[in-house]
A and B are shown apart, each in its own frame.
Chain A
């Protein structure tokens, strides 16, 4: 590279960083200026649910540079370290570029026609022989809105089955059922602005510093500006987040249920609640207890909510004294008292933030309900800077999986297949008879893989995800996939994965800016981008793949569009209008750096249910939970007890195993794993062990340990000095490593209400290997 070009790029780098750090006061301001032949376009980041804005620089048909988008309100010009991986997402050496068809043990290159003909014939055969519920689609929170919408429409309105699920069932289904049971509407009332405006932040089971770094930076910036800011990290593992928090509170796994009830107990006992808010905006309810763990195939559960009074709720809370809960949780009673007072402190703007620690939980719905209870009791909700906020891990878990409704039971905009009116509305927009959409949900994700194992599902198409690495109790489902018979598996992806290796057909997909797209992030922000580069070889958009199957099955009439993305979006938008979920016209998103719904008269909504911000709340109403008509427009405080985990340590398996993510790798590592150095540095997933446990087992840092559960066993390197530190009696292993698939050890127990598995708690033993 000529020195002058290099100097120019260095100056550009310094100017961009300076501009971002100073909010554009210093450094480069015109981000669109063509820079040495580079053309820039906007897109949301490909990785987590934070939804940072990125400017993508293209030269000669290739991406050559990326910038944090200074105009993006989420990240204001700065990306986290995963920003570096954006360059590698598309350009790994082993990109899939041709369809592959299994011939015996070999995968053989084929044309798109051959592959699609084969897939269509398998669908047709299976539907004719075994009915529409024998075919299924397993998609993703990384699907664009168009991809998810097309798949849901084809399966529900074309094929006539509810056999469609996203991998989001594995990561935030409990957040959905939490929102639905408490507010009767999915997704948060608050937004990321709360990270700048509040002063007290409780993190529950969320390692934000590593998993939502840009949001955590906003918290840290807030604290630097405002000495009143406190960050309190509740966790079962000491992380980079704990290190930066003002207080780390260690608790025993599963006892978050009891802790939240103890906090409510103190707030009620000492009358620290907001009586006025409760009277106006809250009802009390209880549901079934001892609700099981879904460990047996075809497990079914239906809650039976019953109203209760505030006094009955007070009685329910009585046993959760700080002393009792201290014994259960390991948190000192004094600390529980202090935390309750912080939550209730009228001079403080309190926020709760959580991710997988709450959601991947056999009582995930309950624990979501319980955190809302505390905010509803204290009235610290629906106000700028004071809100509970559930974060997501995938870029469009909200936009696609939840809002489009790519779950077996859902339809777009919070509607469900069980409701006749909802089916009618969907059928009308989709131009099909209402009877076409089946009224009964079929399988949620775990049950879907059980059905494949049993042979009830024969044909499964997987798009934009890697379930044969990410499902819990993995060995059963991997074996099930290759049991033969009429089973036929199609996997669309951009790289070879542990799922493509089990497929009968592998389809090469286009990714990110190789196609036009739309994601929705965790603060209700929808973000659009245009195609900027061509996909490699013969790789094609998943949207095209789904529509091509539709055409071959005789359902091409469901997709009559010319400008597919725009017209499909305008059709989808009809579901949202007037529902408090209003999306803007497509055009608006092509210009804006995302808009937070409901978007009414061109204006986005920062705080839902709140007068002055939410156009659905009339003057004088203050706060109105207007989506909760069945509960008289009030939110529900739920009496949900503490119940133990599905499997707890015992003499034979004395340790808790928790799984999760690390900063350098994302999900199953299929994209971030394309950076060779990281593969070397993080050569394999490691097992974080507490030094005292390690000493007892005579294991030193770097030794090999065998980790065994009732379901599987793997050998890992012991890590006693990593960034994350296991608590005594606990071990932690990340799930990104395709050669050390820790999910083989995980139990497939799930929350009976949400169907989301608990990847955070099962029992294992350790031996020096």
Chain B
């Protein structure tokens, strides 16, 4: 199950709403809200495919300017292959 740490850049005026909207325990967990309009999130999923889907969906949400990837671990997925 891959795990990634991402920074979600948001429109300032939507930051609070997006923090609530995007938070999904077990798949997208918002760990920090930063003063510059960024949300720090940890993304967990069953597969890389699902992980990328989650990120693409976040990118498509109104008010999300950008998603950038800081950390990506896929060790047990490789072991399973």
User: Is chain B found bound to chain A in the same assembly?
Assistant: yes
A→B interface (CB under 8 Å): 1, 6, 9-10, 12-22, 26, 38, 57, 59, 62-68, 77-81, 83-84, 86-88, 91, 93, 209, 213-214, 216-217, 220-221, 224, 244, 664, 675-678, 681
CA distance A220 to B3 in the complex (A): 27
> Least Cβ distance of A357 to chain B in Å?
22
Known A9-B3, A17-B7: A675·B49 in contact at CB below 8 Å: yes
Residue from B31, B32, B40, B76 in contact with A1 in the complex, judged by beta carbons closer than 8 Å: B76
22 sample A-B contacts, Cβ–Cβ < 8 Å, listed by A number:
A1-B1, A6-B3, A10-B29, A12-B5, A14-B40, A17-B70, A17-B71, A20-B68, A20-B70, A64-B74, A65-B75, A66-B71, A67-B72, A79-B68, A79-B70, A80-B68, A81-B52, A87-B72, A87-B78, A217-B66, A677-B50, A677-B53
B75 and A217 within 8 A (CB): no
Chain A, residue nearest B52 (CB)? A84
A62 and B49 within 8 A (CB): no
Q: Which residues of A contact B53 (CB under 8 A)?
A: 677, 681
User: Main SS of the interface on chain A?
Assistant: helix
CA distance A18 to B34 in the complex (A): 9
A65 and B52 within 8 A (CB): no
CA distance A13 to B1 in the complex (A): 13
Count B interface residues, CB 8 Å.
45
Q: Which of B30-52 contact A (CB under 8 A)?
A: 31-32, 34, 36-38, 40-44, 47-52
Q: Which residues of A contact B36 (CB under 8 A)?
A: 21, 224
CA distance A474 to B29 in the complex (A): 47
CA distance A276 to B69 in the complex (A): 46
> Least Cβ distance of B70 to chain A in Å?
4
A68 and B69 within 8 A (CB): yes
B34 and A22 within 8 A (CB): yes
- 5 extra interface residue pairs, beta carbon distance < 8 Å, beyond A1-B76, A14-B32: A17-B71, A19-B70, A68-B71, A83-B72, A88-B48
A16 and B71 within 8 A (CB): yes
> Least Cβ distance of B39 to chain A in Å?
9
Chain A, residue nearest B43 (CB)? A13
B42 and A66 within 8 A (CB): no
> Least Cβ distance of B79 to chain A in Å?
9
A224 and B37 within 8 A (CB): yes
Q: Which residues of B contact A93 (CB under 8 A)?
A: 81
Known A18-B31, A21-B38: A677·B52 in contact at CB below 8 Å: yes
CA distance A217 to B65 in the complex (A): 9
Chain B, residue nearest A59 (CB)? B75
Known A65-B74, A83-B69: A21·B7 in contact at CB below 8 Å: yes
> Least Cβ distance of B40 to chain A in Å?
5
Q: Which residues of A contact B42 (CB under 8 A)?
A: 10, 13-14, 17
Q: Which residues of B contact A675 (CB under 8 A)?
A: 48-49, 52
Q: Which residues of A contact B31 (CB under 8 A)?
A: 14, 17-18
CA distance A319 to B34 in the complex (A): 53
A84 and B73 within 8 A (CB): no
Q: Which residues of A contact B50 (CB under 8 A)?
A: 677
A678 and B49 within 8 A (CB): yes
Q: Which residues of B contact A21 (CB under 8 A)?
A: 7, 32, 34, 36, 38, 40, 70
Interface core residue of B6, B53, B65 (most chain A CB under 10 Å): B6
CA distance A18 to B41 in the complex (A): 9
Report if B55 contacts A (CB, 8 A): yes
A81 and B67 within 8 A (CB): yes
Chain A, residue nearest B58 (CB)? A81
Q: Which residues of B contact A216 (CB under 8 A)?
A: 66
Interface core residue of B1, B66, B78 (most chain A CB under 10 Å): B66
CA distance A12 to B44 in the complex (A): 13
CA distance A737 to B33 in the complex (A): 39
Residue from B56, B59, B68, B71 in contact with A65 in the complex, judged by beta carbons closer than 8 Å: B71
A678 and B52 within 8 A (CB): yes
Q: Which residues of A contact B76 (CB under 8 A)?
A: 1
Q: Which residues of A contact B51 (CB under 8 A)?
A: 84
Q: Which residues of B contact A681 (CB under 8 A)?
A: 53, 56
CA distance A664 to B78 in the complex (A): 21
Q: Which residues of A contact B75 (CB under 8 A)?
A: 38, 59, 64-65
B55 and A84 within 8 A (CB): yes
Q: Which residues of B contact A18 (CB under 8 A)?
A: 5, 31-32, 40
